Chains A and B, each alone.
Chain A
Amino acid sequence: MIDFLHLPEVQSAFAPLIAAWLGGWLAHKSGKAPIGIGVIVGFAVAVLLINGVDFRTLTAMRKIIVVGVITAIVGVLVDTRHTRGATLLYMGLGVIASLWVFGLFLLRKSGMEMIIAGAAIIAYVVWMLFAMKPLKVDGRRAGAATVALGIGTGATALMGSSALIAQLAFALSAAGGGYILALLMTRSNNAGTTVTFPVALLVSLMGCATVAFAELAWIVLVILGLIPVAARYAPVLEHWPRWFQIGFMILASLVIAGIALAYAWWTGGTDPYTTSITLEAIYA
């Protein structure tokens, strides 16, 4: 009854993982694109399977997807052309993207409530861009952060009763996994803004969407915001095998995601039963 491509594990795990792996590997072999492009290829495949190409009704979630595509292009351009003032460009695009995605939501609020909500959204987006930026020099850590941010954002979105955000975030995590596989296969350690810019913007906007549109406590975002820091400073020894180093980095980052998840569970007024309902929706 359920077509293979409609299975959520295919849409949000297998397809983005394989697409990112192949995309990254082929990009590296061709030498014409950064290996990190695999993350975006994987996410794009998941978007096609989950949302299709229907962008007629430009909801906030669809705007986030469009932002992901634009930032991926910007990231590749910055990496290949070594653009000056890139940091300013990211931050500016982050602020513009935040206002575009959440503009309608913010306009429905009044006075101080609108200012506080808008400032909080921009602060989280800018923080995530700032925290992910240093990881561009280390593919292992950028990949680990992507995996943990995707899982953390997706799992807390499930707590907030949004299966759609959860699926997209899990897909980004799987794409991060595919990218790591490509890194391991090619012995490359390249990340660049091709990875860090779109990932930072996608997870931060998806996290804000869960708080704004679903039922997630905002403090969860503060905890999730520490994932890039954990990925950056996770202590690994150079003589460890590479796969083990990355595994450890993912584990360290997932600890933070786990804390965010526990907090969402504890404070969000939600419970395992809620999550089971949302999971059922994913499997619907």
Chain B
Amino acid sequence: MRKTLVAIAVAVSSTGTVWADNYDIDPAHSMPYFSLNHLGFSTQRGHFEKVSGKMSLDVAKKTGSVEITIDTNSVTTGFGKRDEHLRSPDFFNAAEYPTMTFKSTKVTFKGDTVASVEGNLTIMSTTKPVTLTVTAMNCGKNPMNKKDTCGFDATTQIKRSEYGMNYGVPNIGDDVAIQLSVEAIKQ
């Protein structure tokens, strides 16, 4: 019995880690932003206030996964009346489709850090593959709460019409840039 435990300990120490670290997304420090063109005049921006999900990371094996759920009712642009319009059937139709999700299918590493995350983005029950380009990533102990934390910034671009959200296209831009800032706390 003792020999078995020693063998496991040796195996763990030689591979770095056997199991991936699991994290819960911290809704207080995770925010998906979006921006799109308005009538050719300017770029308008907004974000979602309620985000949840989980991720796992195994740096040694260079594997990982991430699942993010976004509450479409929490869309905000800093102007309440416009937010009501964004929640209406013209755009997110939040009463019928209260959430949108991203589920990773492949995480690509560059060295010890994540370079990109491929996955499926589902908006209004339409699922399309997208690739998140990770622009920054860091894992470590949060100096405030002392919890192990991983965070990353990522960007991608989608065409909203491909998800059935084509109201106002092309006057209200079809191309939507997404900037994702996520922090997750180790379970």
Chain A interface (Cβ < 8 Å from any Cβ of B): 1-2, 6, 51-52, 54, 56-62, 104-105, 108, 160-165, 209, 212-215, 273-274, 277-278, 281, 284
Binding site for A on B (CB under 8 A): 38-40, 81-82, 84-85, 87-90, 93-98, 124-126, 161, 163-168, 170-172
The answer, among B39, B88, B164, B172, for a CB contact under 8 Å with A160, is B88
In angstroms, Cα B82 to Cα A273, docked, is 11
CB contacts (< 8 Å) of B94 on chain A: these are 213
In the complex where A51-B166, A162-B90, A212-B95 touch, is A278 in contact with B124 (Cβ < 8 A)? no
Q: Which residues of B contact A60 (CB under 8 A)?
A: 89, 93, 96
**Contacting pair B96 A277 (CB below 8 A):** no
Establish whether residues A213 and B89, one from each chain, have CB atoms under 8 Å apart when the complex forms: yes
**Closest CB of chain B to A260's CB: distance in Å?**
19
Contact (A57, B164) CB under 8 Å given A105-B96, A284-B171: yes
In the assembled complex, the CB of A63 is this many whole angstroms from the nearest CB of chain B, namely 10
Contact between B88 and A213 (Cβ–Cβ < 8 Å)? yes
Q: List 27 A-B contacts (CB under 8 A).
A: A54-B164, A54-B166, A56-B126, A56-B164, A57-B125, A57-B165, A59-B89, A59-B97, A61-B89, A105-B96, A108-B95, A160-B88, A161-B84, A162-B88, A162-B90, A163-B85, A164-B88, A164-B90, A165-B89, A213-B95, A214-B84, A214-B88, A214-B89, A274-B84, A277-B81, A281-B90, A281-B172
Check A163 against B166 for contact (C-beta < 8 Å): no
Known: A56-B126, A57-B126. 18 other contacts (CB 8 A): A2-B171, A51-B166, A52-B166, A57-B165, A59-B97, A59-B164, A60-B96, A105-B95, A160-B88, A161-B84, A161-B88, A212-B95, A213-B95, A214-B84, A214-B89, A281-B85, A281-B172, A284-B168
Contact B124 A161, beta carbon cutoff 8 Å = no
Complex Cα–Cα for A136 and B127 (A): 44
Q: Please report the C-alpha to C-alpha distance between residue A57 and residue B122 in the assembled complex, in whole angstroms.
A: 11
